[in-house]
Amino acid sequence: MAATLTLEALILIPRWPGVAVPPPIPVTDITSAGAGHNLALAMWPVGTRWELYCSGDQVSVGVSYRQGFTDVVYLQAGPDAASATASVRTVICVPDETIAAADANDLLYVMASDEDVSTHENSGLMAIALSTMTNNYYGWYWCGGVYPVEYVASAVVADTFITDDSLVAGTAVAPSAGTETIDMRANPTDSQCPETGITLIGDGA
Amino acid sequence: MADSTITTQGVILYDRWPGFATAPPIDNIQDMTSSVVGHNQATPKYNVGTKWVLYNDTKASDVGVKCWRGWSTFVYLKSAADISTAIAGSVNFFCVPDDTIVPTSENDALYTVVADTDRTTHETLGLVACAISTMTDGYFGWFWCGGVAPLQYVPGMLVASVFQTDDSLYSPSTVTALTPVATTATEIGLMAAATGGQTQIIGEAVYADGA
């Protein structure tokens, strides 16, 4: 059964290759073209990761929110991003289609938000879209730390993500196939899938 | 367990070694197995446990065929004194800390690694790394420990190269996580994470082994 939870309650554990570094440019809105977001041509190598600090102040969004570091990764929206379950802000994304040996060298970084078009719904290589993405365009996705409210122009503290109504405070979570979408659920006790975060409060409240 | 293999593109490693990986302090690294970067040297050029990240552009011209773009993490370790015996520490072989670590072990014992499960009791440790060349006994060098397989920087690691597994890796929606394990050949291979969560997850498979 699907439920939702505010993104303030989710802390992501990044599983993407490499390490996050401070951006080489000033960043106020990670979903702006200036940062290379939602562009036909990649401004940064796919898999690039940046670390930003969220002040948690009321100044930017009107209310307080989580203070601390956030980690974003540069990925490519899949060819189906705008169809079926669209790749819009706050949806959970994983590698598109089915990855196989000798695939194109960037396929690991091409994302889908529709569980019908991916067989990697429970991959540790997950990230959350920060805006509506155009098919095949490149942009930034949230993959670690606190929700980057401060750096996403359209984000609000009330933003939610989809869960399976299994989450309580302090739950280790992993992505999984939901109804059309990819949701976040408690990692089963016998899990053979990577944990990708923790929740601070329960869902469905 | 039944032994099997998976090709290099199938494995993404999660770095579990202490510390933070940084960009190398030298420019234009082409080969992480060269002496220029301190690989396979009797005297360490860097502190053991030093970690570097390098980006694989993986143009077809670099490695002959396509392989993953993206970041690879390397850790500077020491091959054990007996690494050339039994299961040698050579390219594409996973290694873990040598022998059995105890409170009074040498201060660098954590970073002295071996590829032979007959010579270690740490086969399932999260501190696992993959050799990128044949190592000389007791020498220091770089091992792959995180991200995509570093084909651009390791001449002996190819798209068609394989890692040892137990034929349990990857099943959509149920099994993706990896832990190290002793194979029947006394090598250190990769297996699906045990149920119950009592072993370290050191990465994930993005397709099945044994295919």
The ipTM of this complex is 0.91
Backbone angles phi, psi at B70, to 5 degrees: 120, -175
Q: Which of B5, B7, B12 to mutate to test the interface with A (most CBs of A within 10 A)?
A: B12
> Which of B108, B67, B66, B87 has the alpha carbon at shortest distance from B185?
B87
- Chain B residues with CB under 8 Å of A17 CB are 12, 70-73, 146-148
B208–chain A Cβ distance below 8 A for any pair:
no
Residue B123 pLDDT level (bands cut at 50, 70, 90): confident
Q: Are the beta carbons of B55 and A120 separated by less than 8 Å?
A: no
> What 3-state class would DSSP assign to B114?
strand
Residue B39: pLDDT above 70? Answer: yes
The answer to the question of residue A205 being in a domain is no
Residue A191 pLDDT level (bands cut at 50, 70, 90): confident
- Calculate the average pLDDT of chain B: 90
Rounded distance between C-alpha atoms, residue A81 and residue A45, angstroms: 20
**B59, two tokens:** 């143009």
> Which pLDDT tens digit goes with each residue over A70-86?
999 999 999 987 776 77
Residue in B9, B72, B175 closest to A192 by CB: B175
Residue B2: pLDDT above 80? Answer: no
The answer to the question of residue A70 being in a domain is yes
**pLDDT value at residue B204:** 96
What is the distance in angstroms between the Cα of A47 and the nearest Cα belonging to chain B? Answer: 6
Interface of A with B in 86-125 (CB under 8 A): 95, 98-106, 108-109, 119-125
Evaluate whether A143 touches A71 at the Cβ level (below 8 Å): yes
The number of beta carbons lying within 10 Å of the beta carbon of residue A91 is 23
DSSP B41: B
Residue B148: pLDDT above 90? Answer: yes
**pLDDT value at residue B174:** 84
**Of how many residues is chain A composed?**
205
Q: What is the pTM of this model?
A: 0.93
> What 3-state class would DSSP assign to B181?
strand
| B83-105 mean pLDDT | 86
Biggest alpha carbon distance in chain B? 49
Evaluate whether A97 touches A112 at the Cβ level (below 8 Å): yes
What is the distance in angstroms between the Cα of A187 and the nearest Cα belonging to chain B? Answer: 10
> What 3-state class would DSSP assign to B60?
helix
The answer to the question of residue A204 being in a domain is no
**pLDDT value at residue B50:** 98
Number of domains in chain A: 1
Residue B63: pLDDT above 60? Answer: no
Query: Number of Cβ pairs closer than 8 Å across A and B?
Result: 124
Q: Are the beta carbons of A101 and B172 separated by less than 8 Å?
A: no
Q: Domain span at residue A195?
A: 3-199
Q: Determine the residue of chain A that is closest to B63 in CA distance.
A: A105
**pLDDT value at residue A58:** 58
A42–chain B Cβ distance below 8 A for any pair:
no
| A178-195 mean pLDDT | 84
> What 3-state class would DSSP assign to B77?
strand
Q: Determine the residue of chain A that is closest to B60 in CA distance.
A: A105
Pairing of strands A10-12, A197-199: antiparallel
Residue A121 makes CB contacts below 8 A (sequence gap 6+) with: A94, A115, A175, A176, A177, A182, B172, B173
Evaluate whether A2 touches A183 at the Cβ level (below 8 Å): yes
Which tops the pLDDT comparison, A108 or A187? A108
Q: Report which residue type is found at A50.
A: W
Q: Are the beta carbons of B195 and A193 separated by less than 8 Å?
A: no
> Which of A55, A52, A19 has the alpha carbon at shortest distance from A35?
A52
The answer to the question of residue A56 being in a domain is yes
**B52, two tokens:** 């570097």
**pLDDT value at residue A117:** 87
Residue A158: pLDDT above 80? Answer: yes
Residue B135: pLDDT above 90? Answer: yes
Q: Determine the residue of chain A that is closest to B205 in CA distance.
A: A123
Evaluate whether B10 touches B206 at the Cβ level (below 8 Å): yes
The answer to the question of residue A73 being in a domain is yes
Residue B53 pLDDT level (bands cut at 50, 70, 90): very high
Evaluate whether A15 touches A193 at the Cβ level (below 8 Å): no
